[in-house]
Structure 1
Amino acid sequence: MFTSQTSSFQDSIDVEERDADFDNEEIMGYNQKAQQLNCYYSIYFYQSTRSEAADDKMARSHRRTESTTTEDDFSLSLVDTSLPPEAEPELRCYISRRLSKGALLGGMGNIATVELSVPEQAVGCYCCLLEQERSPGQAEGEGSGDYVVCFLGGSEKGLNLYPLEGEELELDKYVQGLQNSLSPELQNLETEIRPYLSRWYEESVMHIYRVVQLVQGNISYLLHAALSHAHVEVIGADERTKADVARFIKAASLQGLVQEDTTASLCKAISEDSHSDLVIDCSTAPPTLTNTVSNRFCDDWNQAFLNAAERCNPFLLRQILENFKLKAIQDMNNLKRFIGQAEMSHYALFRCCLFLQSCGTGDVLLQNARAEHSGLPEACSIIRVLEEFLSEQAQGTVH
């Protein structure tokens, strides 16, 4: 009865069996391609050919969302692309259809699968309309136009694995970094714009892969630090590596998924203990990690990350990271339910002990529960009993 309430570890890491994950054929394709996975970009100049008064602007925007705009209402011209010559016109036709239906909103990218004359045939395509600032009273069809930026690579499912808080895509954030570099003259096309667009895959997708390659079998320490809100300091490394580790910790943490006051309490308590900081010294090869803490739950995920890294598949790595977080959330919700039941039942308290013993991440779960229930005396007393139980179990294991 108890085991039926928690999903097995194997189920949580078996990405092939989950509806939200990659299918077998897709994963096999990545295995065969390895590091030869291609990625592309395209940028287009978009300009409305309809002249309108400023006071009609809102009405037209409303009509456009209702798909009343036709292809005759705008022009779309290529600025730069890394696509093969035969594939670019196909992409432009696809974007034109999206624009004619009002399916591209300013600053908000969307992701779909497109079939192009590229080796992959079908690829994930991210498209975003970057609207340029206009002077007050200037209508959309007047003056400078806007830009449509497209990133292509991997799959639609893969690209959708990169959200930020508030469901904003990481690719949205990356595209916005291009905003100030765009101008009608595009004099900086070769010096700024093209290099920036060419780096989208390295900067927005590959960071988790680079971190796993950096720490190798020590990835469990980073996972534990992320779940327990511990500070991670990277020394002896360049800024890119530091940013990669920070983004990995943020992606692996439950930030935004637990109550803000709970997160604040945990961060405050941990910051007062400098010995809890995980330090990654990259001046040595391989890097040296100090103040390392892990648990059985995080250790069990090590091999899943290493296997995906061997496949050179950053999208699979991101899916595994999302599954890791999902399992941690499930365990946290189970513990909260058990604590509520244990206040009224000794049997429920016993089940709670069994759960903490089997889940492998009892230390982190109780740490979060203690912060979340700090104002509830009865729950706090239950948590103290559970902490004593885990401590006795740990001592028994040592002996």
Structure 2
Amino acid sequence: PLLPPFSHPSRSDTTVSVISPDQLLDQKELSQLSTGIRNYLEQWPYNVLEYLPRTIQVLGTSVQYLLYSALLNASLRISGTTPQIEEDIRRFYTCCSLSQFLEPLQPEKMAAADSSDDSDLWQFQPVVVDIVFEPGHGMTFDKKYVCKYCASMAETLIAVNSTDVTKIRELLDSFKLKFVRNLNTFKRYLKKAEIDHYALYRSLSFLKVCNCGDLLLRYVKLDAGTETLRVIAALETFIRDVNLKLQ
């Protein structure tokens, strides 16, 4: 069938939308919008970046315990302070945390923990760290776990200009990546030590010089095979027998 001839719409069929002047943003509203955007941009560094130097300032030298807690993947309980300070500390902790790199404990590892002696249980069970603020008495960590690796980084962070937030963030990223690199290096030594006694000696030497040997021993067990666990057991036996301090 033929299509009907095209016809232009009549004037009565068309409608024209007209925006009234009161629907347009006036100068006052534009000014308010501009002020709001400017205030947001001015507060952006404070809200997004400056929690790092604020946390360092609040904790001082105790930031070393927070760094260790982050590497330990501990749970934090913070009390006696303002919501802002608590949020800053938790964000700083998250910035240092290794949870995204570390394989979660498998059920068989937890079963192994149940059969371990008491001295090994801490390496499998979650750790809770309490940070308590008391008026007139400052702030305290109930568990002051630390190693030379964390203490050294704490000194470096305190020495950095508090306005150089980018530098602080770079240091923390480097702090995490170096620990992961140390962990991978130690795993390679342990794997070689399954068939090479010299590699076993190198594993021990590495634990002594890396300044975070206790943490490395904790994490290599998470995905270690049977032979690697035997190597680790031999290392730990020697460390206990000679009373070697890895921190």
Smaller-chain TM-score bracket: 0.7 to 0.9
- Which residue number in structure 1 is paired with residue 195 of structure 2? 344
Aligned residues: 206
- Which residue number in structure 1 is paired with residue 23 of structure 2? none
Q: Which residue of 363, 366, 370 maps to 2:214?
A: 363
- Which residue number in structure 2 is paired with residue 208 of structure 1? 52
- Which residue number in structure 2 is paired with residue 280 of structure 1? 131
- Classify 1:251/1:350 alpha carbon distance in 2 versus 1 (closer, same or farther; 3 Å): same
Please, which moves more after superposition, 230-239 or 382-391? 382-391
Is the CA contact (8 Å cut-off) linking 1:230 and 1:270 kept in structure 2?
A: no
* Structure 1: 5+ residue stretches without partners: 1-184
Would you say 1:383 and 2:232 are equivalent positions? Answer: yes
Q: How does 1:169-318 map to 2 (within 5 A)?
A: 189=33, 194-260=38-104, 276-284=127-135, 285-308=137-160, 310-318=161-169
Is the CA contact (8 Å cut-off) linking 1:214 and 1:286 kept in structure 2?
A: no
Task: Give the alignment's TM-score, normalised by structure 2.
Answer: 0.73
- Classify 1:347/1:305 alpha carbon distance in 2 versus 1 (closer, same or farther; 3 Å): same
The AA in structure 2 aligned to 1:293 is: Y
- Classify 1:239/1:192 alpha carbon distance in 2 versus 1 (closer, same or farther; 3 Å): farther
Would you say 1:372 and 2:236 are equivalent positions? Answer: no
The structure in which a higher percent of residues are helix is 2
Q: Using the TM superposition, give the Cα deviation of residue 193 of structure 1 relative to its aligned residue in structure 2, in angstroms.
A: 5.3
- Classify 1:248/1:388 alpha carbon distance in 2 versus 1 (closer, same or farther; 3 Å): farther
Q: Distance in 2 between matches of 1:273 and 1:186?
A: 57
- Which residue number in structure 2 is paired with residue 159 of structure 1? none
- Classify 1:351/1:319 alpha carbon distance in 2 versus 1 (closer, same or farther; 3 Å): same
Q: How does 1:25-36 map to 2 (within 5 A)?
A: none
- Classify 1:206/1:229 alpha carbon distance in 2 versus 1 (closer, same or farther; 3 Å): same
- Classify 1:307/1:292 alpha carbon distance in 2 versus 1 (closer, same or farther; 3 Å): same
- Classify 1:334/1:205 alpha carbon distance in 2 versus 1 (closer, same or farther; 3 Å): same
The AA in structure 2 aligned to 1:385 is: A
- Classify 1:219/1:390 alpha carbon distance in 2 versus 1 (closer, same or farther; 3 Å): farther
- Classify 1:295/1:198 alpha carbon distance in 2 versus 1 (closer, same or farther; 3 Å): same
- Classify 1:283/1:187 alpha carbon distance in 2 versus 1 (closer, same or farther; 3 Å): farther
- Classify 1:311/1:194 alpha carbon distance in 2 versus 1 (closer, same or farther; 3 Å): closer
Q: Distance in 1 between matches of 2:63 and 2:241?
A: 27
Identical counterparts, % of pairs: 26
Task: Give the alignment's TM-score, normalised by structure 1.
Answer: 0.47
Q: Using the TM superposition, give the Cα deviation of residue 195 of structure 1 relative to its aligned residue in structure 2, in angstroms.
A: 4.0
CA displacement 1:247-302 (0-9 Å, x = unmatched): 1111112222233557xx79x9879857x322111234531221110112111212
Q: Distance in 2 between matches of 1:331 and 1:258?
A: 13
Q: Distance in 1 between matches of 2:34 and 2:82?
A: 25
- Which residue number in structure 2 is paired with residue 116 of structure 1? none
Q: Using the TM superposition, give the Cα deviation of residue 386 of structure 1 relative to its aligned residue in structure 2, in angstroms.
A: 2.2
Is the CA contact (8 Å cut-off) linking 1:210 and 1:244 kept in structure 2?
A: yes
- Classify 1:334/1:387 alpha carbon distance in 2 versus 1 (closer, same or farther; 3 Å): same
- Classify 1:189/1:223 alpha carbon distance in 2 versus 1 (closer, same or farther; 3 Å): same
The structure in which a higher percent of residues are strand is 1
The AA in structure 1 aligned to 2:201 is: F
Give the structure, 1 or 2, with the largest relative contact order (CA under 8 Å, sep 6 or more): 2
